[in-house]
Amino acid sequence: MQGPVDRSRRHFMVQTGIGLLAMASMPAWLRAMEMPGIPKLTPNRASPTFKPDVEFELVAGLDSVPILPGPLTRVQRYTAKLISGPKGTLTEMPNCYLGPIIRLQKGQTVRIHFRNELMEPTITHWHGLHVPALMDGHPMYIIDPGETFVYEFEVINRSSLNIYHPHPHEMTARQVYYGLVGGLIVNDEEEAKLELPSGEYEIPIVLQDRRFNAQNQLIYGAHMHDRMMGFYGDRVLVNGRPNAEFDVASRAYRLRFLNGSNARIYKLGWSDGTPLTVIGVDGGLLESPETFPYVMLAPGERLDVWADFSGRPKGSELTMRSLPFSGVVPMMTEHRMGRGRRGGMGGRMGGMGMMGAMDLPVGSDYPLFKIRVTRETSESPMLPSRLSKIDHYTLSDVANPDKPVPIEISESPMAMLLNGRPYAFNDIQPFERIPIDTVQLLEIFHTGGHGMGHGMGGIGHGMRGRMMGMMGGGPRQEGQGMGGGMGMMFSMAHPIHLHGEPFQVISRSVSAARADAYATVKDGLISSGLKDTVLVMPGETVRLIKPFHHFKGLFMYHCHNLEHEDMGMMRDFLVE
């Protein structure tokens, strides 16, 4: 960091709880303690041979914005300035702390000068984009205050809504919570031919839950319970605003949903029971529209919805709600939260750091935003019967049909782990080494307790076979085998995000012990299309096919419950 820290910034750091350590700019020796074995890397610079079609500056800094009536709220936020390229590349979201919407075209070459004006290290990840490892925002590339990292890449994704957000190890959750997140839309020719609703008829919907104190400042807790469950707010903001309402005409709209919450999972459904018509997910458009009674949306997931208000009279209203469901938090916590709703345990749970969840319980029924028809029109586009072409992979395409790459979820009171190991740099296990230009079968599953996990971290596929034998050779039954009781007590839902190319979900199965809770969400889990984040429920096994093409290097996979990620529920694939 250059120069002294001014008093307003000191006040921001104290009030938001980011701490004096960050104000001291976190010297290199201390940062090395946080990520052992990582030297201080020189930030990437612009290449003289790279010719960008689009070039802009992106800054992560501090600001104060109006959110609630009264005092301004101090936030961290992204701002951007276009250097060259189409005028529509950057679109500010009005009266909002969210970063500008970045709109790119497939085939463009892009240069981004990312400057850190925070008071702590950071780096930016392009969640959903398939880019070289150097450009992916891996935590090893964090830059100090005052430094600039230059991203250069070609857009090879199909049309899709993606996310840009920080990815520094052990600081991601807090930086996202304080405002560092934005949407990145890729357009392509296939999508353009459909003439889907655009302009004022294409509405971004960024869902985030937050807590505020009496002075309108964001509260971010450090309670162990918040870390174990994930941090939950006591109100939902839509596009950075409370009590969101959208005025629409009586015609079709395209709603682009992004779950930007740290931990909260939503069950989206219209208040009058109208089904949701889904046209796209994380990795872009589906092949054809699909209809659901509701849709589950976990942190890091995106959803593209065709919402047709044709025939609704002027003055009519419709509310998008998060509908009731169960099973995503540990059974004991869910039981206590239910009692808290009835007034029995609110105080005690609040003392454990769950006050936000008690005021807006996970899995309860609450409104998200309101739609109000303010104009009648007879003009509206028709929903296309075909949307896109997806080249599907099958088991005959994978390099490992009999030995899926494991992603083992294990939980305990003190650790959330993947493959039995906390995150550490340069800790690649044999099954995490992926040959370049291969297509791999992966399997995400719960062990039923973190006692099982450590064996998996060392020997991978062999342990999988022994686990199956212990459980009778059939589908895993949560609660059997080592650590089963512990697993039943602490098991919860995890949104698992895989960096790099999107994947296909090919099967989902759940243990009998979790079938009742699973029934409250299963009809809203979308398995078609291309995904980069998948919600894995307790007792559930998800199998997927993922290509590893184009780029060698380290690509992360982790839980997108951001508190879990910061706890070390994160690993690296080495594509080589």
Give mean pLDDT, residues 271-285.
98
Of 258, 504, 309, 290, residue with least CA distance to 387? 290
The amino acid at 291: T
Give the containing element (helix H, strand E) for 31: helix 28-34
Burial 5-17 (b: 16+ CB within 10 A, else e): eeeebeebbeebe
Percentage of the chain modeled with pLDDT above 90: 76
Give the containing element (helix H, strand E) for 84: strand 73-84
226: pLDDT strictly greater than 90: no
Distance CA 12, CA 382 (A): 49
| Model pLDDT, residue 228 | 86
Give mean pLDDT, residues 254-265.
98
Report CA torsion sign: 268, 163, 206, 74.
Answer: positive
Of 530, 518, 127, residue with least CA distance to 296? 518
3: pLDDT strictly greater than 50: no
Strand spans (E) along 97-210 = 101-105, 109-116, 124-127, 148-154, 160-166, 182-187, 202-210
Confidence band, pLDDT 50/70/90 cuts, at residue 219: very high
Q: What are phi and psi of 335, to 5 degrees?
A: -65, -45
DSSP class of 124: E
Least confident of 289-298, 459-468, 480-489: 459-468
Compute and round to an integer the Cα radius of gyration of the chain.
23
What are the tokens at 532? 């980069």
Q: Are 40 and 142 within 8 A, CB to CB?
A: no
81: pLDDT strictly greater than 80: yes
Dihedral of the CA atoms 292, 295, 362, 359 (nearest 10)?
Answer: -90
318: pLDDT strictly greater than 70: yes
Q: Which residues contact 42 (CB under 8 A, 6 or more apart)?
A: none
Residue-by-residue DSSP string for 213-225: -TTS-B-----HH
Q: Are 130 and 157 within 8 A, CB to CB?
A: yes
Q: Which tens digit of pLDDT belongs to each residue from 430-439? A: 999 999 999 9
Confidence band, pLDDT 50/70/90 cuts, at residue 488: low
CA of residue 462 relative to chain centroid, distance: 31
Structure-model confidence comparison of residues 490 and 486, the more confident one: 490
CA of residue 70 relative to chain centroid, distance: 31
Q: Are 361 and 322 within 8 A, CB to CB?
A: no
Q: Are 480 and 444 within 8 A, CB to CB?
A: no
Strand spans (E) along 90-147 = 90-91, 101-105, 109-116, 124-127
| Residue found by looking up tokens 């003190």 in the block | 414
Q: Are 119 and 25 within 8 A, CB to CB?
A: yes
Pure H helices in 324-472: 331-341, 346-349, 355-359, 453-459, 461-470
Strand partners, 371: 246, 318
The amino acid at 29: W
Least confident of 133-147, 164-178, 328-342, 409-423: 328-342
| Model pLDDT, residue 165 | 98
Give mean pLDDT, residues 319-341.
76
For residue 319, the SS3 value is: strand
The amino acid at 303: L
Dihedral of the CA atoms 267, 261, 566, 149 (nearest 10)?
Answer: 130
Of 349, 11, 1, 21, residue with least CA distance to 170? 21
For residue 185, the SS3 value is: strand
What are the tokens at 200? 């004022």
Q: What are phi and psi of 457, to 5 degrees?
A: -60, -30
Residue 77: Cβ-neighbour burial (10 angstroms; 0-12, 13-18, 19+): buried
| Model pLDDT, residue 222 | 60
The dihedral region occupied by 448, where left means phi > 0, alpha psi between -120 and 50, and beta the remainder, is: left
Q: Which residues contact 562 (CB under 8 A, 6 or more apart)?
A: 172, 173, 176, 177, 230, 231, 262, 263, 299
Distance CA 265, CA 561 (A): 9
Task: Count how many residues are written for the chain.
Answer: 576
Q: Which tens digit of pLDDT belongs to each residue from 93-139? A: 888 999 999 999 999 999 999 999 999 999 999 999 999 999 999 99
CA of residue 97 relative to chain centroid, distance: 18
Q: Are 334 and 362 within 8 A, CB to CB?
A: yes
369: pLDDT strictly greater than 80: yes
Give mean pLDDT, residues 14-27.
37
Burial 182-202 (b: 16+ CB within 10 A, else e): bbbbbbbeebeebebbeeebe
Q: Which tens digit of pLDDT belongs to each residue from 407-424? A: 999 988 778 999 999 999
Structure-model confidence comparison of residues 60 and 457, the more confident one: 60
Average pLDDT of the chain to the nearest whole number: 86
